[in-house]
Structures are given as C-alpha cells and as structure tokens.
Chains A and B, each alone.
Chain A
C-alpha cells in the first residue's frame, strides 16, 4: 500500500432533474479505518457513495484511488478498482440462489477465474462462499434461494458478494437500519475487524450511536455538502447532531396531557397468526381523547396485527372495537372512517400509505376524493387540489418536492411520512392511529413527526402510537401499554420506569397494571 488515502472524492456535484443532490462534496477515506458518513435523510450520502461505486456519473469533481485519478464508467470499473458497495436496498436477484447471486458479481479477471463448466464453477464458488462465511462468522448456505433468507442474512450475502469479488474499499449504505441491535453490533464488529486488516470501510449512517461506537473518523454531510471531518471520540453527540441538522435539534419538552372521555374501547381482540399460534391473545385497552397512548414491545408480539385491525386493513380477528358515538369501528369501511375523522399512519409508507407512482398532489388529495371536495364523479377540481396540496406541503414542511406532479415514491422517507401526515391531518382528526411513525427517519424529521402527533393530542384527538422503538414511546406517550405474546401485559403512567417496561417487554411483568 503505497498511499494512506484509499479513496478520495473532491468537488463532486450531481443533480437530479434540476435538484442539487450534491454540490462540491469532498470526502477522503484512508486504508485501515472505518469512516462514517453521517447525515440526515436526503443529505446526499447515498448519492455520493453511488458515485464512488460507479453507479452514478458525477457532473463535476474527481475521484482518486490510492491518490491516482480515476474515471469510473459503471459498477464494473468500480469493482476493478476493488470498490464494493452494499446498497440500502439490496441488489439481489430474489429467485436465484446465494451462490448464483455472488457468481453474477464476480469480475472475470485472472484472480477470480474459476475454470470449468458453469456447474463446476458454481460448485467451486459454493466452497469459497462457505470458507469466507466461516471466516466472517456468517451462517449462510450457498445453495439457498435468496428470497427465503431473512433481511439480516440477505445483507450478509451482499457483504460476501463484494468481499469475494475482491473489494478492499467496502461501502455500507445504512447497514444497521434493517437489523436488530444484536445483529447490528455483530455486523459492525465484523467490518471493523475487516478494516483492521488494512481495508477501508465507509459506513453510511444517520445513527449517532453507530458513529460513536464503531467509527475511527466521521464526515458530516448536510444539504448535499460535506460539512466537516472529525474524530468521533473528540466530539459530543449534541455537537454531532448540531452539525448534521445545522441548528440545535428541535427540543421535545413534554407538556402534561389533559385526557377526556374514553374514545376508543378495545376489548379482547383475538386472532390466529400465520403460523397457527395466537397473534393476538385478548388485547384490551381504553384510549381517551387528548392523550397519547403508546404501545411498546419487542417486534413480532402482535403489534403489526393490532395495527392492521385498528387501521381497518384486512386481518381476521374476533373482539370489539367500540368507537364512542358510533359503535363497532370494524364495521366501518375506509370511506366511513374518513367521515369519522380517523387518521391512520401505517408503518409501510410506500406500500400502504402512499401510491408511489402517483403524484404528490394526487396522494394528498386521495383522502378526500369521495367527499366531493375535489370535484364530482365527472370532474376533478385540479386547481383546488393543487392549491391545497401546495399549502399542505409548505405547512407540513415536506421537502424535496420539486413539483406537485412529481411521483411520491421519489420522496425520501421523512418527507414521505410528512406527506402522509399532511393528508391524514387535513381534516382535524379525532382519532389518530400510528404505527412506527419515525422508523428510518433522521433526528429532525422524527422530531417534526412527534410535534405533529402532540399537536393533534393537544387539539383533543385520541392518539395511539404503536412503536418498537422504546425511546420513541417514552418520549411521546402519556400512558404506555406493553405488548407481549399478543396481549397488553402491563400499563404504565408517565413518567414510566424504563427498567420496569423493559422487564414487561420480555414477558416478566411482576404486577400487571401498575
């Protein structure tokens, strides 16, 4: 290794349809280090790294590998310079086996050439995969079909893929976003060990804890620019937050709730899950006007099923959902739910909450399309729809909207969520049902989402938040119910004892109902 600098990008700019995703960004990663690239959603981290991986062509700027200027004409060139990227959305061919996926990405150069027929090459590659997997501590069967693997396993396949292709510069785009804490820890330990062997690892993330614990250096990005490169040990978390957000993070002062009458009475919800075991085993709770009720719990204890039942998504189940002044909410269709001013914010933003191929304005207007506000059966009042969508986009601070006609799928996670909230809150909701509202969102976007939920509460709405993120529940909720094995096993009033909640989450609720 003649040089210390593994990869260097200088003065890189890139725009999409006139939107500057990157302007004059500079970045340098050295051999032997884990270098974190920190920033909010839409700060340009992924765009910059896609340029480093040869996937995007920069409009200006230069790229150096080992201090030599280099031009990348596509991912094949990048792999020739031994750059490998694990993308946030995995680039795997789902019906193919693990080995076939890895074979696809192997460059045909002398070092990697496996001789013989296709079958022979696959078999030899399977052997190499097993060896590499053992070396990294991954349990992967190379013959397995990728779509049957869990998300964490698919990620391991992606890592094996770039390493077997000979990568020495490893770029990981938001690797921990889809993993549990333990899985994330193991992954980051592994890549740190890889860097200690002399490789360069670039860790794209918006999680401060990943940076503090695993990075040797961190470069902060904001609004398409690289702001600063520093030593994460020498800087405090609030300072890092200030650098990524640009100003001090919006504080979340808690104001006590003024709960009113019971608005939603849930009694004894029961359902059978896919595996035959009880997904819901008698969920009961009371939700009052003017409060935020948080449901905490380890993922997979019936939260998704409960959310589906509450939001009126298809979910076979017994029990009652009594809405004050209406009756059984489960009889209400989605149209009637809108009439009743019930707002639902599902966990799957791009799947359930938005129609990605439709425009921002259409996604906003669809909530009221039946009310006749935007025209009748035969006419669309496009002017009014667009005017109100524009107002909502501004009012709810949805960024990255170049045009109201732009596809909703092009919005980043936080802005897509703000658009959903703008639509759902456009009719002054009386009941708000929310599932994982800030999953994948950065500090500022989740603060904005939380602010909106609190404002709805203060406006007299009954708010139910289901979240697997305990910090979120603790920050938001006036009352907390802990879900375990399909039931609410304990309830806590604010201020709640984190330890006690933690115990209840794993099924050790000493006294239920504090």
Chain B
C-alpha cells in the first residue's frame, strides 16, 4: 500500500520534464519547424539552471535563466533552419551533439559538476493531500502545480487567439500564410524561441528540482522520449500531458521496485522507458490515422519565390 502511494506520489516529479519538453516541441512543430534538438536544449537548461543557482541561489531566477539559455542556444538552430534552410533533421541532430559537448565542457570548466543545490520546499495542496493513497500526489514542488497552468496558457494561445491561428497557419501552409501577409519566418522564429524556453525549463526542472545537481548528459535521453511523445500525442498538448504522466509512471516505478527488493538487471531497468517508447510508436503507427493532425508543412523550409 505504502509502495503504491509512494509510486504515485513520485510520478508527477518524473512526468513534469516530459510534459514541459513535449509542450515546447508542440509549440515549435505547430509552426512547421521540426525540432529534434530537445535533448540538447534540455541539457543547456539544466546546466544554466545549476550555474545560476550556485551563483545566486534563487530558484525563480535560475529557472528563468535556464529558459533564457535554451532560447539563446536555439537562435543557432533558428539560423540554420530559417535563414540557411539546412535540412531540419540534420540541424536538430547537430544541435543535440553540439549541446552535449558544450554543456559537458562548461560543466567541467566552471566546476559545476556534482555540486548539490538545495531543492524547493514541497507545497501541500490541502485538503487533497489528505486523500488516502493519492495524497502524496498533491505534495509537490510549486513548478509541478504550475505545469497544468502553463499547458492551459499554451493551449489557449494555440486554439483561442489570433496569434495561435497565425502560428498554426504558418505550420500548415506557409505559402498561404505569406500571401495573407503573415511573416512566416517571424512566427517560426518566435515559435522556436518560446518552445525552446519551455524545453529549457524542463531541463532546469531536472537539475534544480529533481536531482538537485549537475552531471554531464544527465537528461539521459528524456528529450528523445519527448520527441516520440509529441508524435504519440498527435501534436495535441493535452494528449502529450497524458503521455508524460504515463512515462512518469514508468520511470517512478523503477526506484520503487528496487526499494521493494525486486532485483532487476540495471541495464534492463534503464532500457525500460525506451522500450516503452518503441512499443508506443509501433502501436501508434499501426493505427489507421498515421499522419493525422501532423502540421502540413512540418520540416519544410519556406521560400517565397520558388516556382511550383
């Protein structure tokens, strides 16, 4: 009983980075930019967050700097895909490897590695926190409770504002958006920056609030899972949130099993999230509507004067 309560209580902590990263990806991809660089940008956010925390010791500022740092690095990606029109898959992969190297290097040079920081105190959502079994779900750090609000804001922006309408138009049919007088590159740049900031926040969450220290490559492939999650969720934020909870559940289960004395090979345990990712992808692909809801111009660079 206790084990299940602990397991459920730990789930949000594991789910939030997936959720925020997936939301950032959705924002970027709805504008037609294929963003594979999430893993790298999460690392940038994680390192910048720790650095800021070691320097100033204020979580709010550290998280904002994590967002800002990821947005700043994503300018490089924007330059590659928007201005130079490099293949977006290649640019995304290059960004990941660049960020992995950069954060590893800076983490060592600045001596930020393995320096623990203080986490944020938990907030109790009384009276929900008194519920049997589910109570621990409602005792979390503030950012966990903020995440659904961030989702609400992004969904509102995407579906109920003119800005969101234009952003989606740019992702579905940039030629049409351009003819309607919308700045395609402007909206794509804004989507990359905002999406990357959210991905950076996901990274900052991991280093500042989850593990509370920086180790090179600490995101451990969560950015890639977020990429898969977006496809699984058909670019819908709410489905992505549900998917993030599912993956959070799986990740939270592993330490619980270990604590309960179930002996599993370490590499089998580490493999589980990716095995689930693969299974989910296969399940989605075997469905009828494979490309449904995918932004029409995802990954297609925009050139105004190409004759067709």
Contacts and interface: CB of A to CB of B under 8 A. Distances in A.
Main secondary structure of the interface of B (DSSP, over half): helix
Given A74-B181, A95-B172, A161-B180, 15 more contacts: A16-B305, A55-B179, A55-B305, A56-B304, A74-B178, A92-B173, A93-B296, A94-B296, A104-B166, A104-B169, A105-B180, A118-B161, A118-B165, A119-B160, A410-B307
B308 interface: yes
A85 B304 CA distance: 16
Given A100-B165, A118-B161, A95 B180 contact: no
Interface of A: 16, 53, 55-57, 74-76, 78-79, 85, 87, 89-96, 100-101, 103-105, 107, 117-119, 121, 161, 409-410
Contact of A96 (B169, B304, B305, B308): B169
Given A75-B180, A410-B307, A93 B162 contact: no
B308 A89 contact: yes
Max chain A CB contacts within 10 Å: which of B162, B166, B172? B162
Max chain A CB contacts within 10 Å: which of B161, B165, B307? B307
Contact of A93 (B161, B177, B304): B177
B164 to A, nearest CB: 8
Given A103-B165, A104-B180, A16 B173 contact: no
Interface residues of B, number: 22
Interface in B253-306: 296, 304-305
17 contacts: A16-B307, A55-B304, A57-B305, A74-B181, A75-B180, A87-B179, A90-B176, A91-B179, A93-B169, A94-B296, A95-B172, A95-B296, A96-B169, A107-B181, A118-B162, A161-B180, A410-B308
B296 A79 contact: no
B6 interface: no
A192 B172 CA distance: 33
Nearest to B162: A118
B181 A79 contact: yes
Max chain B CB contacts within 10 Å: which of A76, A91, A93? A93
Interface string B149-191: 0000000000011100110110011011111111000000000
B179 A96 contact: no
A85 B176 CA distance: 12
Max chain A CB contacts within 10 Å: which of B168, B179, B296? B179
B181 A105 contact: yes
A100 B167 CA distance: 12
Contacts of B165: 96, 100, 103-104, 118
Contacts of A76: 181
A16 B305 CA distance: 8
Contacts of A410: 307-308
A85 B179 contact: yes
Contacts of A16: 305, 307
Contacts of A101: 176
Contacts of A107: 181
Nearest to A42: B307
A57 B304 CA distance: 10
B162 A103 contact: yes
Contacts of B166: 104
Nearest to A90: B176
Contacts of B178: 55, 74-75
B307 A91 contact: no
B238 to A, nearest CB: 18
A53 B179 CA distance: 9
A87 B166 CA distance: 20
